[in-house]
Amino acid sequence: MLFSGVYTAIVTPFRDGRIDEECFRALIDWQIEEGVSGLVPCGTTGESATLSHEEHKRVIEICVDQVRGRVKVMAGSGSNNTTEAINLTRFAKEVGADGALLITPYYNKPTQEGLYQHFAAIARAVDIPLVAYNVPGRTGCNMLPATVGRLAHEFANFVGIKEATANMSQCSDVISACPGDFCVLSGDDFTALPLLALGGSGVISVTSNIMPRAMADMVKAFMAGDLARARELHFRLMPVHHSMFVETNPIPVKTALTLMGRIGAEMRLPLCPLSPANQEKLEAALRKAGLL
């Protein structure tokens, strides 16, 4: 499969209101050293919703430049405006990204036909591997298996989906509806191992921002047939997964990276610092995992 393993939905560090490029490059190098298969800049975890178009492009550009082909880069380039998504995806291709991650259009709640037409337009316009991102809890719409299968069979460059429904029945139906080499990636750290067991190809992870080696080792263990080791790592990681979502992502993961000394504490409104009670929960989980 084109995209398999652990892809970190990497945070975007800020300093004094701007992208902290030096810090971002150091994070990228650490992720690669720890064994991830790829990086996803400008996803939800990268605060894409608060980046200007110029900043969005710059984050992708920095990531591709720093990676230098060592792992794959799947650039977040989606929008609820199809023309805007095409333009961002073209830019991702121009700077050398290996693929593009495209969120289903949010807020305008397209029909299944509208979703098909949106992704079909992008697939026709830009010859780069495309991965849809289905996250109904964020977008207000659910891309159904029949729509995914229709696109996967009609467009060779529509190669995968990030499924963040946490619905294993729907994930099973997606896998059944698509060609055998179609990449179904978990969009929820909690469901990475169950989805692998169904035939998924990996995970686009929040937790791997802070525990990249453990996440990578879990997936590698499963793929090597060592289910006992994969399960052990899955259950060890579960408290950390829960801590990453005590408040809206990416507030907890950026807080964790700050506590670990890897980034500054800055995030952009409307995101704001963790409440004291949730800060305690997060710190307890990080201590238990040996990160503090």
pLDDT digits (tens, 9 = 90+) for 103-161: 999 999 999 999 999 999 999 999 999 999 999 999 999 999 999 999 999 999 999 99
Percent of all residues in the chain with a pLDDT value above 90, rounded to a whole number: 99
Q: How far is CA 141 from CA 85, 105, 115, 165, 268, in A?
A: 17, 8, 9, 11, 25
Cβ atoms of residues 189 and 207 within 8 Å: yes
pLDDT, mean of residues 45-70: 97
Q: What value does the mean pLDDT take over residues 22-27?
A: 98
Check 162, 220, 254, 288 and give the catalytic one: 162
What is the average per-residue pLDDT within 37-44?
Answer: 97
Q: Which residues does residue 132 pair with via DSSP β-bridges, in sequence order? A: 102, 161
Banded model confidence at residue 1, pLDDT cuts 50, 70, 90: confident
Long-range contacts of 106-110, Cβ-Cβ distance < 8 Å, separation of 24 or more: 106/80, 106/138, 106/139, 106/140, 106/141, 107/80, 107/139, 107/140, 108/80, 109/140, 109/141, 110/141
Token look-up 């591997």 returns: 129
Known catalytic residue at 133: yes
| Region 78-97 average pLDDT | 97
* Collapsed DSSP state (helix, strand, coil) of residue 204: strand
φ/ψ of 100, rounded to 5, equals -130, 140
Is 281 one of the annotated active-site residues of the chain?
A: no
Q: What mean pLDDT comes out for the span 25-39? A: 98
Task: Supply the pLDDT for residue 254.
Answer: 98
Q: Residue 64's pLDDT is what?
A: 98
What the block records as the tokens of 263 is: 């980034």
- Radius of gyration of the chain from its Cα atoms, rounded to whole angstroms: 18
Q: How far apart are CA 16 and CA 204, in angstroms?
A: 29
Question: 162: closest CA among 86, 74, 241?
Answer: 74
* Amino acid type, 54: E
Per-residue model confidence (pLDDT) at position 12 = 98
Which of the four pLDDT bands, split at 50, 70 and 90, describes residue 165? very high
Tracing tokens 């991102």 back to the chain, one arrives at: 133
Q: At residue 188, does pLDDT exceed 90?
A: yes
pLDDT value, residue 89: 98
Compute the mean pLDDT over every residue in the chain, rounded to the nearest whole number.
97
pLDDT at position 47 is 96
Of the chain, the end-to-end C-alpha distance in Å amounts to 36
pLDDT tens per residue, range 204-249: 999 999 999 999 999 999 999 999 999 999 999 999 999 999 999 9
Angle between helices 112-125 and 145-154 (to 10 degrees): 30
Q: How far is CA 17 from CA 40, 253, 266, in A?
A: 22, 19, 8
User: What is the average pLDDT across 34-56?
Assistant: 97
Element (H, E) at 100: strand 99-103
Q: How far apart are CA 182 and CA 190, in angstroms?
A: 21
Q: CA–CA separation, 108 vs 173, rounded Å? A: 25
